[in-house]
Amino acid sequence: MKLVTICIDWSTMTPEYVPGKCNIGRRGRAIRLSTGAVLIALSVGLGLTILLQANPLLRLALVLPAYIGLLAALEGSMSFCVLHARRGTYDLDEPRGFASSKSKTLNKVVSDEWKRIDRRKALRMHAEALAGAILISVLLALA
**Residue 107 belongs to what H/E stretch?**
strand 107-108
Neighbours of 9 (CB within 10 A): 6
- In degrees, rounded to 5, the angle at the alpha carbon of residue 120 between the alpha carbons of residues 22 and 124 is 90
pTM above 0.75, yes or no: yes
Residue 91 vs residues 23, 32, 35, 66, 138: alpha-carbon distances, Å: 6, 14, 18, 26, 36
Average confidence score pLDDT of the chain: 84
What residues does each domain of the chain span? 26-92+103-142
The rounded distance, in Å, linking the Cα atoms of 14 and 95 is: 15
The rounded distance, in Å, linking the Cα atoms of 82 and 23 is: 9
- Write the pLDDT tens digit of every residue in 37-76: 999 999 888 888 776 677 777 777 889 999 999 999 999 9
- Write the pLDDT tens digit of every residue in 2-28: 444 444 444 545 578 899 999 998 888
Residue 134 vs residues 13, 77, 125: alpha-carbon distances, Å: 36, 20, 14
